[in-house]
A and B are shown apart, each in its own frame.
Chain A
């Protein structure tokens, strides 16, 4: 997996100065906002269907490939390619729901869960067959290559722009969920699907919208991930997916704001812990899952999650 070293401090192991501290912190925020974007999709679907959509990380991967091909084939600007990739991923997400999950809506939860794993494998292997296992170099947009200087801290464009773009997307998402009629229906479906039906809401359609929304946001996350780690391959979604899912659980799965907070915590921890203890850099992924285990032991409902009563 293409991975950029987190910063100079992990190279030599000298103590963090204030400057590197802020550099690392911003770097962590940047990574965290990507986890937030990906975590949203897990939490939205879980909130509504009680399903862990394992295929979500592969939709994220598809987002990077769609962006890659749209840039390469149609020679469009980066941002427009991302928008197109978001649309394509929305379609993929809706197709997955319609084909794989809807027929199992009333089946036991474990059947849907296994199906989700199956869809995930299917997309990964489809990727291996069609585009091959060899990583492709993702063209970094110029915006992300710029280096900015702020109070003597030198920061890369990707560290500045990723959180800003993510922030705009998350605000837009919050607007949809809390200020639109469709968003209101989504919140209602998440609480009581049958009662929502009785309101005249076409619940199947609302579920499709939810998948479309989560997938489009994952695509945006994927495109920015590739700008950060510019090597893409069909299995690249797996690790970010696990971590984003961890973020969703830490924030309280089913809670959108929780997913954003969880994403930040995971991203910052993943960057800051190895930066503070350079000797432990090799364990950076382990820290993330240690946080997950810690939460599961102490507060399994997550930061903003309510202790779930079993729906009767």
Chain B
């Protein structure tokens, strides 16, 4: 299972990085989502992979899974979801203003 999870994280990260290096905003947004999926699974795995165990400390329980990464990953999921929504709206705004969805600025003096 470790191999499966590790390679899934690796593939997601690689695909995400490839996508955010593209020059159009749509692939970049998709790439950001892939990256955030990868990091969420990664965070989940930082408490070690344990199956079918409660995330609870109690008397008499000898094996359990670490609850902290689950709490962390929940926060991370909410934040990355919100951020994806923001970047989609922003990219849409830029597309409507500029008429194209290129990520790069056309010229150095573009801002003037």
- Same complex for A and B? Answer no
**Which of B's residues lie within 8 Å of A, judged by CB?**
none
